[in-house]
């Protein structure tokens, strides 16, 4: 009796010499499909059609690969915030633009966004810290313009605004607002939230 045909791997498309990039791309897809709990290097290797030892040529372990994804994610996130900042012409508009950029990034990069703010390695912390700077600059500008309280430490204000934006991003991305009939587009969610803060 002939043996059953072998099941082909889920993915075999990567260019020779570009395994590291293929691992990162495949990891993003797996995280989107299965979430963090369903992610492993062995499953990723099978998905790519390579040996289970192959990922270890580029990453010491699962956490090292996830850290690399987060570092890359923070680079994209920081660039998105900076692009948003360049579109603004006054402090209120600047805060709004940064807020929309935050929510848009979360929606466009859901798998990476979901792990960027979990407990990760030192290199992720170093990559993430600079992304806070555009918001602090915007808060200082808003304080100077009288749109936010001038006597409050700008980092404290920025931390609270960051938490607000993160909550909006997570609830919107996970359809939490939609379940309550409260969903709206990114620009409206951000505008409504800042309307409660800005003078």
- C-alpha 176/C-alpha 79 separation (Å) is 27
Asked if 124 and 70 touch (Cβ cutoff 8 Å), the reply is yes
Is the per-residue pLDDT at 17 higher than 90? no
Asked if 186 and 104 touch (Cβ cutoff 8 Å), the reply is yes
Task: Summarize the confidence of residues 134-161 as an average pLDDT.
Answer: 96
pLDDT, one tens digit per residue, over 91-127 is 999 999 999 999 999 999 999 999 999 888 899 999 9
CATH of domain 9-59: 1.10.10.60
- C-alpha 165/C-alpha 115 separation (Å) is 16
CATH of domain 63-195: 1.10.357.10
Exposed e or buried b per residue across 13-28, where buried means at least 16 C-beta atoms within 10 angstroms of its C-beta: ebeeeebeebbbbbbb
What is the pLDDT confidence band of residue 199, given thresholds at 50, 70 and 90? Answer: confident
pLDDT, one tens digit per residue, over 48-80 is 999 999 999 999 999 999 999 999 999 999 999
Spatial CB neighbours of 49, under 8 Å, sequence gap ≥ 6: 8, 9, 10, 11, 12
Long-range CB contacts (< 8 A, 24+ apart) of 128-131?
128/70, 128/74, 130/74, 130/78, 131/74, 131/77, 131/78, 131/81
- How many CB atoms lie under 10 A from the CB of residue 118? 10
Q: Where are the domains of the chain?
A: 9-59, 63-195
What is the pLDDT confidence band of residue 194, given thresholds at 50, 70 and 90? Answer: very high
What is the pLDDT confidence band of residue 4, given thresholds at 50, 70 and 90? Answer: very low
């Amino acid at each position: 009796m002939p043996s059953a045909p072998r099941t082909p791997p889920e993915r075999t498309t990567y260019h020779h010499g570009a395994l590291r990039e293929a691992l990162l791309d495949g990891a993003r897809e797996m995280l989107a499909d299965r979430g963090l709990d369903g992610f492993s290097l062995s499953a990723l290797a099978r998905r790519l059609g390579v040996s289970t030892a192959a990922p270890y040529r580029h990453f010491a372990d699962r956490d090292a690969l996830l850290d690399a994804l987060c570092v890359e994610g923070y680079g994209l996130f920081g660039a998105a915030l900076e692009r948003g900042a360049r579109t603004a012409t006054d402090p209120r508009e600047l805060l709004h633009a940064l807020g929309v950029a935050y929510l848009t990034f979360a929606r466009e990069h859901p798998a990476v966004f979901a792990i960027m703010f979990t407990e990760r390695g030192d290199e992720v912390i170093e990559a993430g810290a600079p992304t806070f700077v555009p918001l602090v600059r915007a808060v200082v500008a808003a304080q100077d313009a009288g749109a936010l309280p001038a006597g409050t430490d700008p980092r404290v204000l920025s931390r609270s605004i960051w938490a607000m934006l993160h909550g909006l991003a997570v609830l919107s991305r996970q359809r939490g607002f939609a379940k309550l009939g409260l969903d709206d587009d990114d620009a409206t969610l951000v505008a409504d939230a800042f309307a409660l803060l800005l003078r």
